[in-house]
Structure 1
């Protein structure tokens, strides 16, 4: 079971909202400041500082209010976060699209620009999301989804429950996960997208864990136990650019028994091969785990040869109908994000000025 559940609710102002209910353990960690979701959402709910565009705050999480609800038995109190009700996530609606989840390029750029606006807003407030992935990018409900329309949909699709189960000393009934209908292509073309689920977010100046980001999206400084900051989101965003274009992951960490190589070692090899650069001595010297993977000459221990596969080739191999110019521009944009040394990556504000994303 996860650490939280989401529910629809009707607010006192007769608006539909989403309530994220954290389990007792996660709620206590928030009280102890070991998890920072409440504090992060409170910061995000403030307006963007100048000189960021005012629209940045509309593409990240926004907390309407919060409260605590008593738990049953020994579970303790539940922190309940009241937020704007959102629609489908990118991962979910792509699975329902024809042609292997391909999205037209203007929609891809719209999604990526909105996500980047959300990242810029977070970074300006000293927050790193640390868990950017397709199922954490969600679409605002369109204007047709009024409170009346949602109420009618709920009446036509009433909540369903699983059979009751025993939990310690009581019987509990859990609800079946149900989602609103997925958007059409025309709705996506004019939709608003938000970076959602800030449960793993970190205050950059008060980090509580280094265990961040799924392995295939994890930046090299985290893999190698180097100091990290908000630029971890820029690396992950670069991976998401490729995924949103092609509906495929860029990095595919896997074990290679013939080389006795672990998933992390294969991932580091792929980083070197795709990014077209090597790790520098200064960076590795400041990384606590570098000697687990590298010789003193900065070469990987398990790989004596390095193949080169450019971002252009990776995009072209996806089989989607991109022009040569589009591939070149997208690859150049990815290269600004996917630099092995985080100090060489572009900032979110700089990326917003890139002509490929603005076109």
Structure 2
């Protein structure tokens, strides 16, 4: 190991020329983001806030934070400790929004959004980090589906999706949470299955030895040691990375399960939309993709896409990542117009590369992203409407219910934001209200 100290890495500016570490292939955060302005290095057993919170397990990570299971020594309970990156330019108004919710509607807010219990700051080698302490929750809707008993053992021919009634309950509960936020002038801004969490059984009485993550490289609960390419010792990164271990075995997912919205890092007040949106690309409405316009129907469009995704187990618009963002836009718009029909002029005119795919008469002649190379034939793919795509996925529901779901998706995914229904209006859709009517009828006959 070289004896001279390594240079301080640049603040949140890593590129291929600035790679410091040997590659880590486990599903963890990018190790290069352990630098000034980035993640705080955490090891199992670390204590925070003068010893009040002891880290015993990693629950997850995102672009702006890592999340840990911690034991609150003062109150003998488990909590989720979210440690944000320290870069002030990447800060969000998450804390401001959470405080606002707790002030204006604490009881209703706790029903729909993960509860903020505490907050403090922590000084580390990469700067000062905001730390948010939340009630402990189970895995996300994205993760839990893979843990359902019917998919154990997993086979390649299985359609990995929630049972229809479970998917419908997830959608309804998340929509009720959205309606609560919207009533209070707040958009979630990152409305997706990864931010919908299941509640847990009571685990406060369980010993730390049951919940503690093992520091075991062989079982891939942690990575091999983090090593610099130059052999020097790094003071900005942890000794190892932890693989997230959601609390799946302790999750309530049977009848009467509860879903709450989490991660308000992309949230904003309707009166002050942000310039940077965190919504996943495939869940973004066309006006945001083509013009950057943000309004209060952003969450609504995302929800419409998720009705399709939760009921079929497949995303409606899968948009592969590309370094060339114009190609991402092209991929998205071709899929979108195929499923939903032609864009209106006010949107189409903002699609600067549309001539690579459509004639002046707006006839599709090519689906090859980036255009047709000289001497080659254009690529034409069969266009399928959202209804055809839904039927092709063969969801496990009756034809009558299938028609109701497809009608709801069409009702939501309208190109004109002003014509999209509100969350409250969607809750009154026949597909959601039918269960209530049937439930009331059954109760009346007992």
Normalised by the length of structure 1, the TM-score is: 0.81
CA gap of 1:268–1:349, structure 2 versus 1, over 3 A, is same
Deviation at 1:168, TM superposition (A): 4.2
Which of 253, 276, 284 is matched with 2:319 structurally?
253
2:86 counterpart of 1:29: no
Which of 343, 346, 354 is residue 293 of structure 1 equivalent to? 354
Q: Which residue of 2 is the match for residue 95 of structure 1?
A: 146
1:39-78 aligned at under 5 Å gives the runs 39-48=96-105, 55=108, 57-72=110-125, 75-78=126-129
2:274 equivalent to 1:208: yes
Query: What is the TM-score when the length of structure 2 is the normalising length?
Result: 0.67
Listed as ranges, the gaps of 5+ residues in structure 1 are 256-260
How many residue pairs match? The answer is 336
Equivalent of residue 119 in structure 1, options 178, 199, 202: 178
Do structure 1's residue 242 and structure 2's residue 308 form an aligned pair? yes
Which residue matches 2:78? Answer: 16
Q: Which residue of 2 aligns with 1:279?
A: 343
Residues 299, 37 of structure 1: CA spacing in aligned structure 2 closer, same or farther, 3 A cutoff? farther
1:171–1:123 Cα change, 3 Å: closer
**Is the contact made by 1:243 and 1:250 (CA closer than 8 Å) also made in structure 2?**
yes
- Cα distance change on mapping 1:226 and 1:301 into 2, 3 Å: farther
Q: Measure, in 2, the Cα distance between the counterparts of 1:300 and 1:280.
A: 14
Q: Report the alpha carbon displacement of residue 222 of structure 1 after superposing the two structures with TM.
A: 0.8
Within 1, Cα distance between the matches of 2:69 and 2:180? Answer: 26
Residues 100/55 of structure 1: CA separation in 2 closer, same or farther (3 Å cut)? farther
Q: Distance in 2 between matches of 1:115 and 1:8?
A: 24
Does the 8 A contact of 2:70 with 2:81 survive in 1?
yes
Q: Deviations over 1:298-348 (max 9, x none)?
A: 947866999763333222111332211111111112122211111111111
Alpha-carbon distance in 1 for matches of 2:191, 2:361? 29
CA contact (8 A) 2:309 2:315 kept: yes
User: Which has more helix, going by share of residues?
Assistant: 1
Alignment partner of 1:24: what SS?
A: coil
Deviations 1:120-171 (A, max 9, x none): 12222322222222222110113xx33013635225x545544255674467
* 1:133-144 equivalence runs, <5 A: 133-142=192-201
300 and 320 in structure 1: CA distance in 2 versus 1, 3 angstrom threshold:
same
CA distance 1:19–1:171, shift in 2 (3 Å): closer
> 3-state SS of the aligned residue for 2:245?
coil
Is the aligned partner of 1:148 residue 2:184?
A: no
Match of 2:404 in 1: 329
For the 8 Å contact 1:88–1:183, the answer to whether it is kept is no
TM-aligned CA distance change 1:186 to 1:64, over 3 Å = closer
21 and 103 in structure 1: CA distance in 2 versus 1, 3 angstrom threshold? same
Q: Which runs of 5+ in 2 are unaligned?
A: 1-29, 31-62, 152-157, 217-221, 368-379, 436-446
